[in-house]
Structure 1
Amino acid sequence: MVIKKKKSIREQVYDYLKDEIVNGRIKEGSRIVEEEFAEKLNISRTPLREALRMLELEGLVEAREKGGVTVPKTTKKDVEEVVKIRIALETVIFEELFQKVTEDNIKELEENIAKADAIVYDEARCLEVFRYFSEFNKILYAISDLPRVIHLINNLNLYLKKFRKISAENNERRLSAHADHMKIVELIKNGKKHEAIEINKKHLLEAKDFLIKQVES
């Protein structure tokens, strides 16, 4: 980790640990040993403890009864709760975007779909496809212009980000998600809000079922 002057050490340690956890480089069930990480990052334990407290508030680490912290394992209940909340929040997004969407927005969505469509069958480029999927969601969120809702969704997605690579590499899941995105754009173009909300709900419920299988495997 390179220490930068524009952020406090605590904030930089927080950013570093958060990235390591959500990308699965610090594994679920792992114990974060203060002495080990302080030495690794060449910092004192104080900013490390402060960063860990911030992560604990977000649910990304848990304090142990006998001291220290661990990275909790994702459970079926976690997945179900996250997806249930995301369905509710994205319904708010869709309600708003149908009032604000423009021809330029639709063109941007169609360009995203075209880029994904060109490579969606190429398994070697699955992670690139997934980046287009993430961009698709960002475009939808931006149209809604609801920054607080978007912030909540982005925080929720952190809990499941570690499964992103597995989801992208699954051929059936990747193609199904792409088909859903194409349907959503067509429904937005035709002003069919309720149908678009239902397709998005189906999309998220299918993602939930897939993720639960990964958690329980």
Structure 2
Amino acid sequence: MLENFSNPTDRFGFGESLPQQIAKQILKKIIEGELKAGDRILEDEISKELNTSRAPVREALYLLQVDGIVERIPRRGTVVKSFTHLDIVEYNDAMIGLIQAAVEFSKQKWQEEQIKNLHDYLVKATYECEQKNVINYQLIAEQLFRYLFIVAENKALLRFYEEAGHILRVFAQSQWNEKTMESFHKELSYFCEAIINSQFNEAKTAIFNTLKLGVK
């Protein structure tokens, strides 16, 4: 079920419009498998489920279309987009470049507090890996990567990261297993240790190896 927006005070999150919140709710359904590749997304059904008008739903679907999550097909309407393996590889390669750029921009900004926060994310990821919680692990890893862009203080890179991240998140939710997670975490640990030790070139190599494992 989608979150109900019948209460006007719940319509807006901090810094987010109603269409942006609706887009996130639809994306959540896709990630959790309620909506699969090729499924139609009906504006009427979404608006009734959210107790809102069709206009913000239509805009939310446009936002998802811009991000490449859904597509409009003649005589079918809006459907969840299907991705080929090549599509995923291309998005993954873009993500590698974005994170490597974030590493470069963040070089001079890793102080004691930032290093501690990165270490804390790694500890949380390690715990979820040990508990074999694949979904929770993916969420923590995503938060860890997003933190790099916060440290880098580059809003443009963060925006591009979030757009590519939508696609890769959907892929990972459906394709990863415990073995994938364990291999990924080993490389992720190398990446974090390199950052913590100010070995930024090594970190760039490690993130290449880390993300390549995620789409095998």
Q: Give TM class, smaller chain.
A: 0.7 to 0.9
Q: Which residue number in structure 2 is paired with residue 148 of structure 1?
A: 156
Deviations 1:16-49 (A, max 9, x none): 3233234432111112234444444445544433
Q: Is the 8 A contact 2:20 2:63 kept in 1?
A: no
Say if 1:64 and 1:87 are closer, same or farther in 2 by CA, change over 3 A.
same
Aligned residues of 2:30 and 2:36 also touching (Cα < 8 A): yes
Q: Return the offset for 1:85.
A: 1.0
Counting matched residue pairs gives 207
**What is the SS of the residue equivalent to 1:208?**
coil
Based on CA coordinates, which of the two structures has the bigger radius of gyration?
1
Per-residue Cα deviation, 1:150-187 (whole angstroms, up to 9, x for no partner): 1110111111222333566x222222222222212322
**Gap change, CA 1:44 and 1:201, over 3 Å in 2:** same
Answer yes or no: is the 8 Å Cα contact 2:172–2:214 preserved in 1.
no
**Separation (CA, whole Å) in 2 of partners of 1:46 and 1:180:** 45
Gaps of 5+ in 1: 210-217
Could you say which residue in structure 1 is the equivalent of 2:169?
A: 161
1:205 aligns with 2:202: no
What is the identity percentage for the equivalent residue pairs of Structure 1 and Structure 2? 25
Q: What TM-score do you get using the length of structure 2 for normalisation?
A: 0.81
* Contact preservation (8 Å) 1:31, 1:71: yes
2:193 aligned residue: 186
Out of 59, 84, 95, the position equivalent to 2:93 is 84
User: CA offsets, 1:50-98, max 9 Å, x none?
Assistant: 4333332332222222252211112112102211211111111011112
Of residues 34-43 and 197-206 in structure 1, the stretch that sits farther from structure 2 once superposed is 34-43
Q: Structure 1 residues 36, 201: CA separation in 2 closer, same or farther (over 3 Å shift)?
A: same
Q: Distance in 1 between matches of 2:18 and 2:113?
A: 42
Q: Which residue type is aligned with residue 48 of structure 1?
A: V
CA distance, structure 1, for counterparts of residue 67 and residue 125 of structure 2: 33
In structure 2, the residue corresponding to 1:70 is in which secondary structure?
strand
Q: Would the aligned equivalents of 1:82 and 1:156 in 2 still touch at CA under 8 Å?
A: yes
Note closer, same or farther for the CA distance 1:128–1:22 as it changes in structure 2 (3 Å cut). closer
C-alpha distance 187-25 of structure 1, shift in aligned 2 (>3 A): same
Structure 2 CA distance for partners of 1:38 and 1:180, relative to 1, 3 Å: same
8 Å Cα contact 2:184/2:213 also seen in 1: no
Q: What letter matches 1:147 in structure 2? A: K
Q: Which amino acid aligns with 1:128?
A: N
Does the CA-based 8 Å contact 2:40-2:76 persist in structure 1?
Answer: no
What do you get for the CA RMSD once the two structures are aligned? 2.6
Quick one: distance in 2 between partners of 1:208 and 1:107? 29
1:96 aligns with 2:105: yes
Q: What residue is the counterpart of 1:213 in the other structure?
A: none
* SS, match of residue 2 in structure 1: coil
Q: Does 1:61 align with 2:70?
A: yes
Change beyond 3 A, Cα 1:55–1:128:
closer
Listed as ranges, the gaps of 5+ residues in structure 2 are none
In 2, are the aligned partners of 1:106 and 1:185 still within 8 Å (CA)? no
Q: Is the 8 A contact 1:83 1:204 kept in 2?
A: yes
2:79 matches 1:70:
yes
